[in-house]
Amino acid sequence: MNEVLLRSLTPSVLGILVRRGADFAAAEDAVQEALIEAIRVWPADSSPSSSSQEPPVRDPKGWLVTVAWRRFIDATRADAARRRREELVEEEPAPGPAPGVDDTLQLYFLCAHPSLTPSSAVALTLRAVGGLTTRQIAEAYLVPEATMAQRISRAKRTISGVGVSPAQAGPRARGTFNQPGDVATVLRVLYLVFNEGYSGEVDLAAEAIRLTRQLASAIDHPEVAGLLALMLLHHARRAARIAPDGSLVPLAEQDRGRWDTEAIAEGVEILQAALARDRLGEYQAQAAIAALHADAPTTEETDWVQIVEWYDELARLTDSPVVRLNRAVAVGEADGPRAGLAALATLDASSASSVSRGHPVPRYTAVAAYLHERDGDLTKAARLYAEAAQKAPNLAERDHLTRQAARLNARLRR
């Protein structure tokens, strides 16, 4: 049994339990236990040649629903204090209509509820929507399993109090998820899973793409499509992005022959369909920039003028200093390093307040170093690269910047 296929059943199995009247937190625990049980007992390879005595599972979803429901009842019975729920589970559950797209969508909204911190929303989404085990999530984020278990159960407690309670809304409200958040918060969570994942047993980038793809099939929204396109276009470069020694390869130096052309084609197609809807958003704009890079056969052939235009759109949509920093890089390529430095100077002035609080825009100094090098001021560039390395928020970037400083210092000594 393919584990990813198995996990893709998580939202609908959870949806069925909630519709039968289980509360979200208990149902989610029961589904998690059923998934762990499935991984344990199902043959890893259910083809006839498998030596396992276990027969292939013909109806994985039915199996999961049965096991999860039994676990839910066991857990509820064990808790004698909760009499009301016990009465509920004594009733034979009605088969009910097949839950579908709506349940899945509600689940995404619930797990990304604005009352949750981003890290809690990420953890809960990976478990309740993604079907990952607590252990896998803990490993992926390099924290102890007990800590991750607490983070998830706290998140569930937080969202159990949101929205309309069954008592307030009457019996009809039972069997549905609570009030949802909005699409933007869901996308933010999926973006974080994709962009800030560590490497572990679980490929979080691939998982983020799977979850965004699943969301895109449940809701027709240009920004969902935009995020999916953005992820695919960046994922396509992954093989070229990391050198065999683990160091980062900047975009300009990547072997473009190693980019995944299939992923690029899919990303571009999804993006074009989204842009045609004429409801631009930040993910579509970011994806458009990634698509322009993907489209260039060589660095030199990159359409920097168009990229600057997209950064202008992005700045209108978000006005984030990071966007203006990246815009300065693009301006430097389109109109020369002097123009880039001028663009950087405007950022300098407008972000002075955040700089003075000790939270400068990340990579500001690295960008300044790059533009000064292209402008021919190697001494200043070398100094700025070394300074940027000191401020780098991650090891790969620090090592890259240190090498840049070393490269220039060696040239200056000659």
Partner 1 sequence: MAKYLLLKHYRGAPAAVNDVPMAQWTPEEISAHMQYMQDFADRLEGTGEFVDGQALAPEGTFVRYDGEGRPPVTDGPFAETKDLIAGWMVIDVHSYERAVELAGELSAAPGAGGKPIHEWLELRPFLTAPPTITE
Rule CB under 8 A: say whether 230 interacts with partner 1. Answer: yes
- Interacting residues with partner 1 between 375 and 404 (CB under 8 A): 392-398
Convert residues 91-110 into a mask of x (bound to partner 1 by CB under 8 A) and - (unbound): --------------------
Cα dihedral across residues 170, 174, 176, 179: positive or negative: positive
Its sign, for the CA torsion 138, 139, 143, 145, is positive
Q: How far is the CB of 261 from partner 1 (least distance, A)?
A: 19
147: nearest Cα among 123, 116, 130, 131? 123
For the bound state, the minimum distance from the C-beta of residue 276 to partner 1, rounded and expressed in Å, comes to 23
Rounded Cα distance between 259 and 244, Å, is 15
User: From CA 352, how far away is CA 361, in angstroms rounded?
Assistant: 10
> Where does this chain touch partner 1 (CB under 8 A) — which range of 80-88, 94-102, 160-168, 289-297?
289-297
Closest distance between partner 1 and the C-beta of residue 213, in Å?
17
Q: Contacting partner 1 (CB under 8 A), which of 5, 78, 81, 142? A: 142
CB-wise, 38 or 287, nearer to partner 1? 287
Q: Which is nearer to partner 1, 65 or 148 (CB)?
A: 148
Bridge partners (DSSP) of residue 248 are: 242
Which residue stretch of 54-62, 99-107, 135-143, 370-378 sits at the interface with partner 1 (rule: CB under 8 A)? 135-143
**Min separation Cβ 336 and partner 1, Å:** 19
Strand, helix or coil at 319?
Answer: coil
277 makes contact with partner 1 (CB under 8 A): no
Which C-beta is closer to partner 1: that of 53 or that of 356?
356
CB 246 within 8 A of CB 396: yes
Sign of the CA dihedral 214, 217, 222, 226?
Answer: positive
Give the N- to C-terminal CA distance of the chain in Å, as an integer: 62
Q: Answer yes or no whether residue 374 interacts with partner 1 by CB under 8 A.
A: no
Give the burial string for 335-362 (b: 16+ CB within 10 Å, else e).
eebebbbebbeebbeebeeeeeeeebbb
Q: Report the interface residues with partner 1, using CB under 8 A.
A: 117-120, 122-123, 141-144, 146-148, 150-152, 154, 194-199, 205, 230, 234-235, 238, 241, 248, 251, 286, 289-290, 293, 326, 329, 359, 363, 392-398
